[in-house]
């Protein structure tokens, strides 16, 4: 694709306005393309060298210098591309991805009862890279472009290291946990909190299955207080008994939100509690380990009234973050943000540095120790 310098400048501006996590996704894909191009080029050079004289060889080796950011910007252009010949395809109609299955995307066009199914092979530049919540341009039964994402939630594939997209254009992400069956795992909340903030959405915690709380396990909720100080609203309730469902709805009013968390914590049950007409499939929890049985297998977007859209997602076994440096990580800890200006060093990583305002605040009890420990743990320092 040939781009004018004006288009490149405009795309650079769009790129800068994207959520950090979306910029990282494009840069990672650009790096992958650059490596692929360079390994192909060096294979070609090796093959050709045998037949080249000295002068030709040096010109061959003067391969173009590839700038990863420039490739990322071109990728963005590719994803947002308008078809070359609009007249062949018909008018452009905007739609939203409401379901991503293994072999097709479901796109809602206009109103909720008007949707169409599209095979990923018909999405040339985007194949496999769309997620629920994406706003797309469609034409003649094809997806012909992707609107720039305002927010994005993604995680890292534990095996390939590639980003796995969870939901786009969400205002809020609700981390659903339960105290009993499955048991509470606060560490996953730390990771979700960072991923949600780096994707530009507001985080919230819903502690489900409050009906199973009693004197023997209520103390487990104590560790959640630290998240309140991290600016995360917390609602304790029960999808089964209907506790705090009204409060949850009030938090979500007017927003598009995604429910995330371990399998079996009750994400789909919460969707049903908020909107009984939806009938999202609900599974069971295994007797022995209290683990979920991975009932929801694909993400779906539901409209539930009060201008609320909810995206129900499959439960995860684990949640891995993209690697990030201390300065970026600290920026997702709101309790650190104002204070970090008072550290002695501007680029203080708040680990071993002298006169660190964050460490002083932890010692004074102004920042909960759990939050500082979470920060170190996420940096790989135990
Ligand atoms: N006691 C109790 N059980 C609940 C509550 N909410 C959900 N459950 C039960 O928890 C089990 C799992 O619920 P789901 O809604 O399928 O959980 P999920 O988070 O959607 O699970 P995945 O789709 O596998 O990720 C079901 O047996 C529900 O009946 C609750 O508030 N209290
Ligand atoms: Mg489910
Ligand atoms: Zn510091």
Q: What is the pLDDT along the chain (382 residues), one digit of tens a residue?
A: 678 889 889 999 999 999 888 898 889 889 988 888 888 877 766 666 665 555 555 554 555 567 889 889 988 888 876 555 554 567 888 899 999 887 788 999 876 567 788 876 666 666 568 899 999 988 877 788 889 999 999 999 888 888 899 999 999 999 999 988 888 888 999 999 999 999 999 999 999 999 999 998 888 899 898 998 888 999 999 999 999 999 999 999 999 999 999 999 999 999 999 999 999 999 888 776 678 888 999 999 999 999 999 999 999 988 999 888 999 999 999 999 889 999 999 999 999 999 999 999 999 999 999 999 999 999 998 7
pLDDT at 95: 92
**Closest by CA position to 317, among listed 284, 342, 292, 285:** 292
Give me 363's structure tokens.
């010692």
CATH number attached to the domain at 326-378: 1.10.40.50
Q: Tell me the chain's radius of gyration from C-alpha atoms.
A: 24
Q: Which stretches of 234-368 are DSSP H helices? A: 245-252, 267-274, 326-331, 334-337, 357-363
Q: How far apart are CA 28 and CA 253, in angstroms?
A: 35
pLDDT at 127: 57
pLDDT at 89: 63
**Closest by CA position to 266, among listed 301, 234, 290:** 290
Give CA separation, 107 vs 83, 87, 100, 145, in Å.
18, 22, 9, 13
**Closest by CA position to 117, among listed 147, 143, 144:** 143
Q: Which stretches of 230-354 are DSSP H helices? A: 245-252, 267-274, 326-331, 334-337
Give this prediction's pTM.
Answer: 0.86
Mutate to test the pocket of ligand 1, among 241, 266, 279, 316 (most ligand atoms within 8 A of CB): 266
Residue nearest to atom 7 of ligand 1 (CA): 266
Residue 66 per-residue DSSP state: P
The answer to whether 267 and 261 have CB atoms below 8 angstroms apart is yes
Task: Quote the ligand 3 centre to 360 CA distance (angstroms).
Answer: 9
Give CA separation, 29 vs 32, 114, 185, 215, in Å.
5, 33, 32, 51
The answer to whether 108 and 115 have CB atoms below 8 angstroms apart is yes
| Cβ of residue 287 lying under 6 Å from some atom of ligand 1 | no
Residue 253 per-residue DSSP state: T
- Residues 6 or more apart whose CB falls under 8 angstroms from that of 216 comprise none
Give CA separation, 115 vs 93, 138, 235, 300, in Å.
12, 12, 34, 13
**Closest by CA position to 212, among listed 189, 232, 241, 185:** 241
Q: How far apart are CA 20 and CA 144, in angstroms?
A: 24
pLDDT at 241: 97
Q: How far apart are CA 264 and CA 250, in angstroms?
A: 24
Q: How far apart are CA 335 and CA 332, in angstroms?
A: 9
pLDDT at 293: 82
Domain 86-146 CATH (choose: 3.40.50, 3.40.1350, 2.40.230, 2.40.50)? 2.40.50
| Cβ of residue 266 lying under 6 Å from some atom of ligand 1 | yes
pLDDT at 91: 80
Angle at 66 between CA 63 and CA 67, to 5 degrees: 160
Total residue count of the chain as it appears in this document: 382
Which of ligand 1's atoms lies nearest the C-alpha of 238?
A: 31
Q: How far apart are CA 127 and CA 132, in angstroms?
A: 14
| Cβ of residue 160 lying under 6 Å from some atom of ligand 1 | no
| Cβ of residue 213 lying under 6 Å from some atom of ligand 1 | no
Which of ligand 1's atoms lies nearest the C-alpha of 292?
A: 24
CATH number attached to the domain at 163-312: 3.40.50.300
Which of ligand 1's atoms lies nearest the C-alpha of 239?
A: 31
Task: Quote the ligand 2 centre to 264 CA distance (angstroms).
Answer: 7
């Amino acid at each position: 694709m040939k781009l004018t310098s004006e288009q490149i400048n405009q795309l650079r501006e769009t790129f800068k306005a994207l959520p950090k996590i979306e910029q990282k996704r494009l840069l990672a894909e650009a790096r992958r393309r650059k490596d692929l191009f360079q390994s192909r080029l060096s294979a070609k050079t090796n093959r050709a060298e045998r037949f080249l004289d000295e002068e030709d060889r040096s010109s061959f080796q003067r391969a173009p210098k590839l700038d990863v950011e420039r490739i990322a910007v071109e990728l963005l252009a590719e994803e947002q591309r308008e078809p070359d010949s609009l007249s062949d395809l018909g008018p452009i109609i905007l739609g939203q991805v409401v379901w991503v299955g293994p072999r097709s995307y479901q796109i809602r066009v206009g109103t909720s009862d008007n949707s169409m199914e599209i095979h990923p092979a018909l999405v040339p530049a985007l194949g496999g890279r769309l997620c629920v919540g994406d706003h797309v341009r469609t034409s003649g039964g094809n997806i012909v472009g992707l609107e720039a994402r305002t927010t994005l939630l993604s995680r890292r594939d534990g095996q390939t290291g590639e980003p796995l997209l969870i939901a786009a254009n969400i205002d809020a992400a609700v981390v659903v946990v339960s105290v009993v069956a499955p048991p509470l795992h606060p560490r996953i909340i730390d990771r979700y909190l960072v991923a949600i903030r780096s994707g530009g959405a507001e985080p919230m915690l819903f502690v489900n299955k409050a009906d199973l709380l009693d004197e023997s396990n209520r103390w487990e909720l104590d560790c959640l207080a630290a998240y309140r100080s991290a600016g995360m609203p917390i609602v304790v309730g029960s999808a089964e008994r209907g506790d705090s469902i009204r409060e949850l709805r009030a938090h979500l009013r007017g927003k598009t939100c995604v429910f995330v968390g371990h399998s079996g914590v009750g994400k789909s049950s919460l969707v049903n509690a908020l909107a009984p007409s939806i009938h999202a499939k609900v599974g069971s929890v295994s007797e022995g380990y209290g683990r979920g049985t991975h009932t929801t297998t694909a993400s779906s977007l539901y409209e539930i009234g009060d201008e609320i859209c909810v995206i129900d997602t499959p439960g995860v076994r684990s949640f891995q973050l993209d690697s990030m440096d201390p300065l970026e990580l600290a920026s997702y800890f709101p309790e650190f943000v104002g204070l970090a200006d008072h550290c002695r060093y501007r680029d203080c990583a708040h680990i071993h540095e002298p006169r660190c305002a964050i460490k002083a605040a932890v010692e004074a009890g102004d920042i909960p120790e759990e939050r500082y420990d979470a920060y170190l743990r996420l940096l790989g320092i135990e």
